[in-house]
Amino acid sequence: MGVFFLGERLRTMQWIPVALAAIGVAYLTFVYGQLPWIALLLAFSFGFYGLVKKLAPLGPVHGLTLETGILFLPAFVYLGIVESNNTAAFLHSGITSDLLMIGAGVVTTIPLLMFASAAKQIPLTMIGLLQYIAPTIQFLIGVFIYKETFDQSRLIGFSIVWLALIIFWVENYLGNRVVVSHMKVNLRP
């Protein structure tokens, strides 16, 4: 989105991790045996969300307030329907469940505010590659907490993606060091 819609430019060495990440995702898709429509839909929808947040004139708090306001009426109607059908959970499942549902709102809001703030401050191309962190955390939870299977094909696919992330971070770190060093040289009297 950053490259195609915003004209952001990647340095030559940044295209290597982009290509590696694409190869890793393509490999996992091949092993999976079919196109992962849900994963791709989530990726593209969140990519467009990031693009909108980048272009939006509102700050993080005002933007999230607007988003919440837009969704208020549909959510209110839905809650009315489930309440009238006696299928509502809030205030019907016990204090622990009610507190967990309230806490889920806070746990969701804070990352959305942080994302909106970051989207304004860093290139969308960097945000896109950093978005691989969430699936990695989900992967680690799946393997180590829920004891899901992790076979050799997944090791290969995820290793390619992780290698891409490492290369991107190293290249970005080194690229920023060169820019900062160049700025210091130009600032000297």
Report in angstroms the alpha-carbon separations of 173 from 14, 103, 166, 177, 187. Answer: 11, 36, 11, 6, 21
**Has residue 26 got a pLDDT over 80?**
yes
DSSP category for residue 19: H
Lowest mean per-residue pLDDT among 41-45, 54-58, 132-136: 132-136
Residue 187 has pLDDT above 70, yes or no: no
pTM over 0.85: no
Q: Token match 């809030």: residue?
A: 90
Q: Summarize pLDDT for 65-103 with one digit per residue, the tens.
A: 998 999 999 999 999 999 999 999 988 889 999 999 999
Taking the C-alpha atoms of 75, 80, 83 and 87 in order, what is their torsion angle to the nearest 10 degrees?
Answer: -50
Q: Which amino acid is at 95?
A: I
Dihedral sign computed on CA atoms, order 43, 46, 48, 54: negative
pLDDT, position 59: 87
Cα dihedral sign, 162-164-170-172: negative
Q: Are 1 and 124 in contact (CB under 8 A)?
A: yes
Domain ranges across the chain: 61-122, 132-183
Q: Hey, how many other C-beta atoms are within 10 angstroms of the C-beta on 22?
A: 13
